Amino acid sequence: MQRGTFQLMKSVNKSIILNKIRTCEPISRAQIAKETELTPPTVSSIVKELLEQGMVYEQKKATSMGGRRPTMLYINKTAYYLVGVDAGPETMNAIVTDLGGTILGRISYVLNTPITEASFLDVMKQSINEVVRLANVKMEEIMGIGVAMHGVVEVATGKSLYAPNLKLTDIPIKEALEQEFCVTVKVENDARAMALGEAWFGGHGDLGSMVTVNLGRGVGAGIVTDGKLFHGAKDIAGEIGHMTIDINGEICECGNHGCLQTFATGPAIVRRAQRKLAERGAEHSFKLTAESVFELAKAGNTLYVDVLEETGFAIGIGLTNVIHIVNPEKIVLGGGVMKSEEFLLPIIKKTVNNNALTEGAKNTEVKVTKLGKDATVLGAVALLLVEIFDSVLG
């Protein structure tokens, strides 16, 4: 396969067959022809190409019901490797995986702010070089690099238009990495990448629609329908952190009042706890963090329990709005804030149940990711897997 390109995967029929093998392996040529309605000669010809390219391999079935043992096809997961990067706002995390998503190496660098565009790109390049070395993989075996970037991303050009927490604009991520590594680079908003990671690796089955919400220093969402990310007209679909929850509320960093982000982020939780402490004339001898609010709530301190339950209510209102607009089959929650799941999730579900319009909407499944912090960086890898296996859907 030509290094760094997906041109050999762009045939619609080839994508259909490759994806059929991925989802149904082991599978025979005859089964592929029957289930895809492609002709047997077409299947045989394309499978021959895939074998020559090293993307699949074949072996005889161990047993037979009579006659010759059928030859079964499998994806060759170690034929090529992929790099996924979760870029910011506090750390640069990079992984190398095989084509099955198995993580072979990982690395993390702290992003020291303030940071320049050049320094940011240098850290990203360093992370990629180092994680490839740690994974004991050759760079010529890397098929592509996927980047999950916080803030507003222009997907077509792979440019970070606005990274608010880093205070950077117009970072040419795709251009810089393709020049450096000579491989295909895909760049996506981190919340949308997380949604794709959930769709590919979260064990959710064959869902028609799913929304994933990342709650950390910011709030963002990704919408997946029929295996595809929904971007909207100008690549800002999923910015639910700037959905207005209280028109008279706190001013958000975007300049509007009462955005969900002013209720549901780690810093917002800390601010609300500090206000409650001030109202009571109390204070702590240590610096409050979202993690310490959770620990104090677990210890039975009702002030912090109240803070987390208020947070859960605000998130529940936001999700109810999402359900009314998108009507997904499932909503998956992730990010650092959801470490307080035991306090947040029951209130979130109760709020949705109390406010959704119909019984079907009330019963929308809401759960916390099982992928944890890997959801986003695996989503960066999934950006490439979609190109390899599912280009027929694009």
The radius of gyration of the chain's CA atoms, rounded to the nearest angstrom, is 23
- Does pTM top 0.75 for this prediction? yes
pLDDT digits (tens, 9 = 90+) for 60-78: 875 655 567 778 999 998 8
How far apart, in whole angstroms, are the C-alpha atoms of residue 246 and residue 326? 21
Q: Rounded to an integer, what distance in angstroms lies between the CA atom of residue 273 and that of residue 288?
A: 8
Q: What percent of the chain has pLDDT over 90?
A: 66
pLDDT at 40: 92
CB of 322 within 8 A of CB of 331?
A: yes
pLDDT range class, residue 360, cuts 50, 70, 90: very high
Please give the biggest Cα pair distance in the chain: 85
Smallest CA-to-CA distance from 272 within 283, 262, 259 is with 262
Lowest model confidence (mean pLDDT) among 18-22, 63-67, 342-346: 63-67
| pLDDT at res. 54 | 85
pLDDT of res. 5: 47
Query: In whole angstroms, what is the distance from residue 88 CA to residue 100 CA?
Result: 25
The CATH 1.10.10.10 portion of the chain extends over 7-75
The pLDDT score that the predictor gives to residue 286 is: 73
CATH class of 205-369: alpha beta
Does residue 311 contact residue 273 with C-beta atoms inside 8 Å?
Answer: no
Reported as a single tens digit per residue, the pLDDT across 321-337 is 999 999 999 999 999 99
Using DSSP's 3-state secondary structure scheme, residue 207 falls into coil
Instruction: Annotate 336-383 with DSSP letters as a single string.
Output: GGGGGHHHHHHHHHHHHHHH-SSHHHHT-EEEE-SSTTHHHHHHHHHH
Please tell me the least confidently modeled range out of 3-17, 49-63, 135-149, 277-291.
Answer: 3-17
pLDDT of 214 reads 92
Of the candidate ranges 103-107, 125-129, 265-269, 384-388, the one whose mean pLDDT is the lowest:
384-388
At residue 392, does pLDDT exceed 50?
no
Class of domain 7-75: mainly alpha
Residue 183 and residue 3 in contact, taking contact as beta carbons nearer than 8 Å:
yes
pLDDT at 2 over 80: no
Position 234 confidence tier, pLDDT thresholds 50, 70, 90: confident
What pLDDT, on a 0 to 100 scale, did the predictor assign at position 285? 64
* CATH number of the 81-198+375-393 domain: 3.30.420.40
Peptide bond preceding 114: is omega within 30 degrees of 0, i.e. cis?
Answer: yes
156 close to 18: Cβ distance less than 8 angstroms: no
What per-residue confidence (pLDDT) applies to 394?
A: 35
The DSSP H or E segment spanning 163 is strand 159-163
- pLDDT of 282 reads 76
Mean pLDDT confidence for 224-234: 87
For tokens 């799913």, what's the residue? 210
Q: Where in the chain is the domain with CATH 3.30.420.40?
A: 81-198+375-393, 205-369
Residue 23: which pLDDT band, with cuts at 50, 70 and 90? confident
* pLDDT for position 157: 95
